[in-house]
Structure 1
Amino acid sequence: MAVTNDDETAPADGRRRDRARGRGDRAGAQPRKRGWLRETAIVVVSALVLSVIIKTFLVQAFFIPSGSMEDTLAVGDRVLVSKLAPGPLDVHRGDVVVFVDPGGWLEQKPDTRNAVQRGLEEALTFVGLLPQNAGEHLIKRVIGVGGDTVECCDADGRLMVNGVSIDEPYLKPGVSPSETEFSVTVPEGHLWLMGDNRSNSQDSRSHLGDPGGGAVPMENVVGTAALILWPFDHWSLFRNPGDTFAEVPEP
């Protein structure tokens, strides 16, 4: 009769159990890994969809490329723009708005990006992870709305809106309200837009000979500036200078 050595069989049985346990652990790890990847993908896709919805209907960030709105905005500032106006909310005199070039306002510069850089930047901008570059967008302040008569200037060099002279606290220190004399009546559904740095702003005054007399169609307005996002030391909310236009009568 054969004699079994327990000391010899026990390690073999233990190794078999360890191998079986290892296979079981690996088999269990695969579903957990697939579940983690699926949950991560759902979170990422949901975040991107939410970002696109927010950018399309609520707010969008824009990059400021020029000094036409100094000292309210500096070159390189990132501005968050509310898309609720025009729309559920109205655009008012004194608001700062981002709008699409109505034609001939922007100098067309050659695109020096390669195809990969252009595609990546456009994709990240589309989902709202990069601020919109000013390729076809401008930012100015609303001075007149549809029906208003805007003139330069009174005896003290101030702009007049509907016959009332206005004091403009947002102008860059040292610049005059306008070095160009004009008198325009803003067409209905349009805006008369000017930069805060009037001596360095190609705004409605520079397009008096265009269709619409320099006024911009309301349909070109993307939204109103809500706050400066970046850099942090420029962080601030935009407030409408209501007192500036408080005495201006409706047209």
Structure 2
Amino acid sequence: MTWNEQPGRKRGTAAIVLLSLGAVLVAGAALWAAFGAPQGHQSIVVRGDGMMPTHARGDQVPFFIPPAGDVERGEVVFANVPWGNGGDAPFRVVAVGGDHLVFTPGTSRLVLNERPLDEPYLMDRAVPATLPFDVVVPEGRIFLMGDNRADSDDSSHHVTGTTEGMVPLSAVHAKPVTDPDAAVDIRPVLLFAALPLLAGAALGTSALLARRRAPKTAAAVAVTKSSTAT
């Protein structure tokens, strides 16, 4: 009997391929669940009017937990700010570490890194801020403002010569799911990814049993031939 003719050899090879594929798919699905898949099964209730018109008081906003430090200018985040009431509130990230941000009363825009900042999401674009400020955001911190600048208790109200108004990245606990319909339950994805593992395990068991039966079958054939010859 040649190597390729060994009982269960083809099933064993198929089992190895399926087990390897299943392991890769499950690992990929787990990583996607941890770092990429929006998990909108919970929501945060907006308590104030500072983020109107993007988020109104009473809105239940689906969210996901971003990787640490995953914050960009212009996006909305839920953060526990030093001047808040202890809960997570929504804010717009206006500036990040290293940015120079300025507001001069009488002007219609903030100036970010020496350029006027376009903010189409504002409740009133004629009111980009209510208090003057001129700050350089320290590394590892962000400058947060509401979209309703006339009624927002945000970083611009807490610029005191210290970094109090600039919030540490660790204060960001969540981001809104931009497309709630895209929120997924990861369990069916993991189950689908695990199917090759289950099939591989079944084939592997079948191949092992076939190899164990082979010596008994060969011995029985040998006994039969010996009896016939006698």
So what's the TM-score if we normalise by structure 2? 0.57
Classify 1:175/1:81 alpha carbon distance in 2 versus 1 (closer, same or farther; 3 Å): farther
Classify 1:105/1:148 alpha carbon distance in 2 versus 1 (closer, same or farther; 3 Å): same
1:231-246 map, 5 Å: none
CA distance in 2, matches of 1:209, 1:83: 31
Instruction: Tell me the amino acid that sits aligned with residue 94 of structure 1.
Output: G
CA distance in 1, matches of 2:161, 2:64: 28
Does residue 1:78 correspond to 2:60, yes or no?
yes
CA distance in 2, matches of 1:75, 1:154: 28
If asked which structure has higher relative contact order (CA below 8 Å, sep 6+), I would say: 2
Residue in 1 aligned with 2:188? none
The structural deviation recorded for 1:174 is: 6.0
Percent identity at matched positions? 34
Residue in 2 aligned with 1:249? none
Classify 1:187/1:173 alpha carbon distance in 2 versus 1 (closer, same or farther; 3 Å): same
Residue in 2 aligned with 1:219? 170
Residues 154-191 of structure 1 deviation map (CA, whole Å, 9 limit, x = unaligned): 87421011111011100003651012111001011000
Does residue 1:194 correspond to 2:145, yes or no?
yes
Classify 1:162/1:213 alpha carbon distance in 2 versus 1 (closer, same or farther; 3 Å): farther
Aligned length: 147
1:1-150 map, 5 Å: 59=39, 60-86=42-68, 90-101=70-81, 103-106=82-85, 136-150=87-101
Classify 1:236/1:166 alpha carbon distance in 2 versus 1 (closer, same or farther; 3 Å): farther
Q: What is the CA RMSD across the aligned residues, in angstroms?
A: 2.9
Unaligned 5+ segments in structure 2 are 1-32, 184-230
Unaligned 5+ segments in structure 1 are 1-52, 107-134, 230-234, 238-251
Residue in 1 aligned with 2:200? none
The structural deviation recorded for 1:153 is: 3.4
Q: Secondary structure at the match of 2:44?
A: strand
So what's the TM-score if we normalise by structure 1? 0.52
